[in-house]
Amino acid sequence: MPGIRVKEGEPFEKALRRFTKTCEKAGIMSEIRKHQHFEKPSARRKRKLNAAKRKNQKRMQQFQS
């Protein structure tokens, strides 16, 4: 689990925001969302296909630039 060090005089809200950002980068938030409810196999395939399409479009856009 990622951790952060709270800086001297840093507001709690700012430290919490940094912590949530590090959790998102580590993939913890998506893992939690994935286990919150059952996902039908067809919905899982559709989600993965859409993610692959977005990734491919992003890669092609970087290639053309």
Is pLDDT of 65 > 80?
Answer: no
Model confidence over 14-33: pLDDT tens digits?
Answer: 999 999 899 888 888 888 88
Q: Is residue 4 part of a domain?
A: no
Model confidence over 37-55: pLDDT tens digits?
Answer: 888 999 999 999 999 999 9
* Contact indicator for 26, 2 with CB cutoff of 8 Å: yes
Q: Is residue 1 part of a domain?
A: no
Q: How far apart (Å, rounded) are the C-alpha atoms in residues 34 and 17?
A: 22
Q: Is residue 29 part of a domain?
A: yes
* DSSP 8-state code for residue 40: -
Q: How many domains does the chain have?
A: 1
Alpha helices for 6-40 (secondary structure H): 12-26, 28-36
Q: Is residue 43 part of a domain?
A: yes
Q: Is residue 56 part of a domain?
A: yes
Q: What is the extent of the structural domain holding 30?
A: 12-64
